[in-house]
Chain A
Amino acid sequence: MATQLKNAPLDFTWPEEGHTRVPYWVYSSPEIYKREMEVIFGGSAYSFIGFECEIPNPGDFRQTKVGDKPVIFTRDEDGQVRVFANRCAHRGVQFCYETHGKGRTEFICPYHQWTYNLKGDLTAIPFRRGLKKQGGMPKDFDMKSHHLQQMKVQTYNGTIFASFDHGMPSLEEYLGPKMLHWVNRVFNGRPLKVLGYERQRLNANWKLMFENIKDPYHASLMHVFLVSFSLFRADNPSKVQLDGTGLHGVQISQRGEQKQDEGTEDIRQNIAHLKLANPNMLQPEKEFPGEATVVMQTIWPNLIIQQQSNTLAMRQIQCVSPEEFELHWTYFGYADESEEMTMKRLRQANLMGPAGFVSADDSEVMEATQFGVSKYPNEKAVVEMGGRDFEDTDHMVTESMIRGFYSGYRKIMGL
Chain B
Amino acid sequence: MDATTMTKSAPSSKAAADARALRADIYDFNSAYAACIDDGNIMLWPDFFTEDAIYKVIARENYDQDLPLATIFAEGRGGLIDRTVAITKTTVFRPRYLRHFISNIRVLGIDGELIRAEANYMVVETLTNDLTRILSVGRYMDTFTRVGGELKLKERLCVYDSEMVPATVVYPF
Contacts and interface: CB of A to CB of B under 8 A. Distances in A.
Contacts of A331: 69
B82 A276 contact: yes
Interface in B5-41: none
B70 interface: yes
B78 A278 contact: yes
A271 B75 contact: no
Contacts of A201: 164-167
A198 B77 contact: no
Interface stretch (A137-145, A358-366, A406-414): A358-366
Interface string A342-378: 1000110110011101001101110110000000000
How many interface residues does chain A have, given as a range? 35 or more
Contact of A368 (B57, B62, B79, B94): B94
B59 interface: yes
A203 interface: yes
B79 A281 contact: yes
Contact of A198 (B71, B79, B94, B170): B71
B108 interface: no
Interface string A177-218: 000000000000000001111111111000000000000000
Contacts of A203: 167
A385 to B, nearest CB: 19
Given A195-B67, A197-B61, A277-B81, A350 B73 contact: yes
Given A274-B85, A278-B75, A197 B69 contact: yes
A285 B110 CA distance: 40
Interface in A244-297: 269, 271, 274, 276-281
A225 interface: yes
A277 B75 CA distance: 10
B170 to A, nearest CB: 6
B78 A342 contact: no
Interface string A152-182: 0000000000000000000000000000000
Contact of B78 (A277, A346, A349, A364): A277
Interface in B65-123: 67-79, 81-82, 85-86, 89-94
Interface in A24-76: none
B3 to A, nearest CB: 38
Contact of B165 (A195, A198, A269, A274): A198
Contacts, number: 123
Contact of B169 (A269, A355, A361, A368): A355
Contact of B72 (A225, A326, A350): A350
B163 interface: yes
A360 B71 CA distance: 11
A278 B93 contact: no
Given A326-B164, A357-B90, A347 B169 contact: no
B8 to A, nearest CB: 39
A301 to B, nearest CB: 21
B168 interface: yes
A258 to B, nearest CB: 13
Q: Which 6 A-B pairs have the closest CB atoms?
A: A196-B69, A278-B78, A277-B78, A355-B169, A196-B67, A224-B90
Given A274-B90, A277-B79, A365-B92, 7 more contacts: A202-B167, A224-B91, A277-B85, A346-B73, A354-B167, A357-B91, A368-B94
Interface of A: 99, 194-203, 222-225, 228, 269, 271, 274, 276-281, 326, 331, 342, 346-347, 349-350, 353-355, 357, 360-361, 363-365, 367-368
29 contacts: A196-B69, A197-B59, A197-B62, A199-B59, A200-B165, A200-B168, A222-B92, A224-B91, A271-B89, A274-B89, A276-B82, A278-B76, A278-B79, A279-B78, A280-B79, A281-B79, A326-B164, A331-B69, A346-B69, A346-B70, A349-B73, A350-B74, A354-B165, A355-B57, A355-B72, A355-B170, A360-B169, A363-B168, A364-B168
Interface of B: 57, 59, 61-62, 67-79, 81-82, 85-86, 89-94, 163-170
